[in-house]
Chain A
């Protein structure tokens, strides 16, 4: 069997972690080979080894059957290997063509010959149906377009083996469909693609074969046509994964959160929440379904004290918390898993341990009158890391260097551990892999079963349908419907979210 790429027995260590341990990857010519694994499994590391960014501690790499020693990306380029990184490496203020030729500029005497380059870029773009404008400035084009520029860059350098690191993470559904078409036309022209992803449905729709890695170990390589999403998922996570979250019937008790006639303005001074009514009771998960921008953010910010409410009532355990400071609201029994974990959820330059006391650092036992009690802070972190399966080299690792899923688990550990009466979770699983999603869903249901009130905001209908005991549909700042998940379906919810039913306004 001829392989264009063979990586045999690759081992790569970082201080404190073995990112790759004896991994094998064999890619055939003209195939789309998926590399599947949870966040932090070691996919990017393996590809950075292939691309010459990291040197492996051990192992062998063969390209087109020949032993090679790839010590820099330039050597990888010469071997026909190209890579699009998870984070694009483009210069915003340069044009598409300038970005593409950067580093290998075609010269005419001392001058860069940009016209010829533009023609060449146009030709390649047409050949693969990329529809890129060679003269556009990178800062003016969409993220999806920027990604195509990265792909063009590889093709311009005559790469035959293309590595795409989580290319779909930043794309809209339409852009994903288009990218899939592009990948198919690339392999038709004889290119080979290594596609990194943790999204199973993408693998099912484009990949020929799939290599699964888990916690730095190579697990198996399978033919996608002979496999199934659930088989791939369990290989990736290391146990059976249920896509349908198991839960018992809710037994809601007295109301914990009551919102009456709430009005909230956004920064432009426009009413975003317009007389909204909502109730969340002990022991139930209420899901707020709606299209982004219908007042969800403003509602949550008003409840959590991050934004001023204009009028109405917000009661937590029968006490008004409207327009109190966030700290006072926390002390009334609220926890909040914020939508944007980097912007709000974490101080990325603080260690994991200190992030885990972000709201409580000033209280006993984490603090005495003046000084912090680091021993308690670190013990607390150790316990949460264990209980919430946060994968980090240590408690003193900066939050920045954790993977997205583990950052989210750290936040969830911190918020759930405070044993709140009301737990607000906004998009708690955005961008995470199935293993982490399942874990987080389980935790939310556990909290419900402990008698807590859970308010879930999500733009993903599947998540809302799976988790909620009650669904409140938000439309233009009001709750326009209150339905039970088993009495409705995605189509009906979709219509409600589009505003087809503006009559029942009570939830």
Chain B
């Protein structure tokens, strides 16, 4: 038993980070370089070098995120996709997602993606409202976004979009309009995020100056609750705090994160989980390149987690899934009984009506608990 539970999950997923963007949006704190296409050649060599040592593993899911992976011109995109195909073997019925920005979508690029086997596309639409798009400093219009979704649906099939709510000045009515427009599109999946102000972004300092103001907390709650309602009526199932999917279109790659599976990752700022170690590459693209070029390791932080931490993390991130988590499965896969070590905190969350026990060994967020997922999660982390 002991030796069995000491085994860490073999990675069956991979994340590749493409740090290039045309422009850095005011709210963005991702690992991104804007207007530095001069680094693309060096980047392609570096990430190829980082992946080469893996020895072409078989993966069930591949996720190419950013940044903006579709920012590459068609020739570069071709080389990049070819490289990815050489470094990984996608299992039968595997999921290969590419993030994309609407303004980059051309039928040429989309066809190329499909040819290489990309079968899921996640578009950074954020909104259809021209004022909101301008405020968020996005480079597309509602028309461009709509056309991109339609084209991708036609060629690739499985399309997801990201939408941001609770932007400065946004009203509930504005947001409902965005949602209405979204559900008319041929989508399989939707991710909705409340705009967060992150330290180090221009939005942060604008808010400090009093130049930007977020909607009130109760407005944000209303937006979120209405989102759940509207999307449910359109047959999008709410399956994680910010994720909604048609029947079987859940993002398998993200599920792997939340279910505590292992995954590979490469590129600046990319985080991986291999052999019980959580590692993050250096977030600065130039540092990442320099390190790769000089034969150094790109990792900036390594954390070897204990079995207990592993179990706690799985519980804390797993509980964000609306169906909840099977504590028995968690115990058998980690060797740690969360029900025991977190009995007080789970008990508290139950007594406060945040957590429910739908069947023995299961816990899930209650209707009210969905609004307090961070409270529940941080208690599980101990």
A, B: real partners: no
